[in-house]
């Protein structure tokens, strides 16, 4: 009887597709007070950590072939280039003071950094702290942030694009010709020619909300959305960057993204401890998903069945089923998880799915 059961099990296994055992990919998570945690997406368990050879890792990106991970390390003003086969740092490339946001496009990495950064977030607009800072600010303090452009083949910064004060988010236009960045300290979104760095357009957000943070283009390239942290709104612009409308969100929205089909918009509402879901056509709220404390960035898994949300003050990654729109799991990641991307590349607040 036991032999018969064993034979039956072996016979059935022969008909199971090899795809059932395929590698689902990996997620990479930066922790502000640590390094990079690797999560195996086949098991949804941590599979190791990477010493990034620098303190304060935040922004990260991965090359299209998945061979290299690019991580901004704030304290030494560099990015660490990590070989994903060995999980070892193969090069550190100087960028500038306080590098934060990273986007990778082809053989180039675009990294925001702040020459005049003093550390910590800017004060709330209109507060006594903000008025005092404005009164005491000299010309050096007003030096704008920059986007350092790194040639990953040559391993060096080749040029810069000048942004606004305290640059936060980076996005590419659908055709790849423009760079769109959010500048939280002067409440602007600026659009630049990628090849020349020339400023094409500046959108002021103050009348809609202060501190623009996340920025995302729709999959069809017709719409841009930005989270306004001190407006408790997301702002919608057309492909020419005309503001079309705002949508109320929870308190202090941060990470923002469409799904791969452009049907829904997802927003991490920091203080309300929610991942909010909106219909991308009507902008009606679909659902509020309770999450953790201080949730910044998130990504879909490569198969688009789950969302992984980094919640810094909870020391956890919250895993959300995209059909049920419910949290199904928490993965412990300590030392203030901040950024999260996957390989294969997926839609999310820090990256975009490859076609």
CATH number, domain of 78, equals 2.130.10.10
Residue that the structure tokens 């607040």 belong to: 349
Does any domain span residue 105?
A: yes
Q: How far apart are CA 194 and CA 181, in angstroms?
A: 12
Q: How far apart are CA 168 and CA 72, in angstroms?
A: 13
pTM over 0.95: no
Domain count, the chain: 1
Cis preceding linkage at 314, omega within 30 = no
| pLDDT in 10s for each residue of the chain, 355 residues | 343 443 333 333 444 444 444 689 999 999 999 999 999 999 999 999 999 999 999 999 999 999 999 999 999 999 999 999 999 999 999 999 999 999 999 999 999 999 876 555 555 656 555 554 444 444 445 689 999 999 999 999 999 999 999 999 999 999 999 999 999 999 999 999 999 999 999 999 999 999 999 999 999 999 999 999 999 999 999 999 999 999 999 999 999 999 999 999 999 999 999 999 999 999 999 999 999 999 999 999 999 999 999 999 999 999 999 999 999 999 999 999 999 999 999 999 999 999 7
The C-alpha torsion from 16 through 18 and 20 to 21, rounded to 10°, is 120
Does any domain span residue 232?
A: no
Does any domain span residue 32?
A: yes
Does any domain span residue 290?
A: no
Does any domain span residue 127?
A: no
Does any domain span residue 317?
A: no
Q: Residues 299, 301, 302, CA angle at the centre, nearest 5°?
A: 120
Domain hosting residue 41, numbered range: 25-119+143-162
Does any domain span residue 297?
A: no
Q: How far apart are CA 28 and CA 169, in angstroms?
A: 19
- Which residues are CB-contacts of 242 (< 8 A; sequence separation ≥ 6)? none
Does any domain span residue 194?
A: no
Tokens of 160: 């810069």
């Amino acid at each position: 009887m036991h032999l018969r059961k064993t034979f039956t099990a072996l016979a059935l296994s022969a008909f199971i597709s090899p795809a059932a055992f395929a590698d689902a990919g990996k997620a990479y998570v930066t922790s502000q007070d640590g390094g990079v945690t690797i999560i195996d997406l086949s098991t949804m368990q941590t599979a190791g950590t990477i010493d990034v050879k620098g303190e304060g890792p935040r922004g990260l990106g991965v090359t299209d072939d998945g061979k290299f991970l690019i991580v901004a390390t704030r304290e030494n003003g560099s990015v660490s280039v990590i070989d994903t086969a060995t999980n070892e740092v193969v090069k550190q490339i100087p960028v500038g003071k306080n590098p934060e946001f990273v986007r990778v496009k082809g053989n180039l990495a675009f990294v925001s950094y702040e020459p005049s950064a003093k550390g910590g977030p800017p004060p709330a607009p209109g507060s006594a702290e903000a008025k005092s800072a404005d009164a005491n600010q000299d010309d050096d303090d007003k030096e704008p942030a920059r986007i350092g452009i790194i040639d990953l083949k040559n391993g060096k910064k080749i040029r810069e694009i000048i942004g606004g004060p305290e640059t936060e988010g980076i996005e590419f236009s659908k055709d790849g010709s423009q760079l769109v960045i959010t500048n939280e300290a002067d409440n602007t979104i600026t659009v630049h020619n990628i090849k020349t760095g020339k400023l094409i357009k500046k959108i002021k957000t103050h009348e809609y909300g202060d501190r623009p943070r996340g920025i995302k283009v729709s999959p069809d390239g017709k719409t841009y959305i930005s989270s306004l942290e001190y407006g408790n709104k997301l702002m919608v612009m057309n492909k020419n960057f005309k503001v079309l409308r705002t949508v109320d969100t929870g308190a202090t929205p941060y990470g923002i993204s469409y799904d791969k089909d452009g049907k829904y918009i997802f927003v991490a509402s920091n203080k309300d401890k929610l991942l909010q879901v909106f219909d991308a056509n009507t902008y009606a709220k679909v659902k509020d998903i309770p999450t953790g404390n201080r949730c910044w960035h998130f990504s879909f898994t490569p198969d688009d069945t789950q969302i992984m949300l980094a919640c810094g003050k909870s020391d956890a990654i919250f895993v959300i089923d995209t059909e049920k729109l419910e949290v199904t799991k928490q993965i412990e990641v300590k030392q203030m998880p901040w950024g999260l991307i996957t390989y294969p590349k997926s839609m999310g607040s820090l990256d975009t799915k490859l076609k």
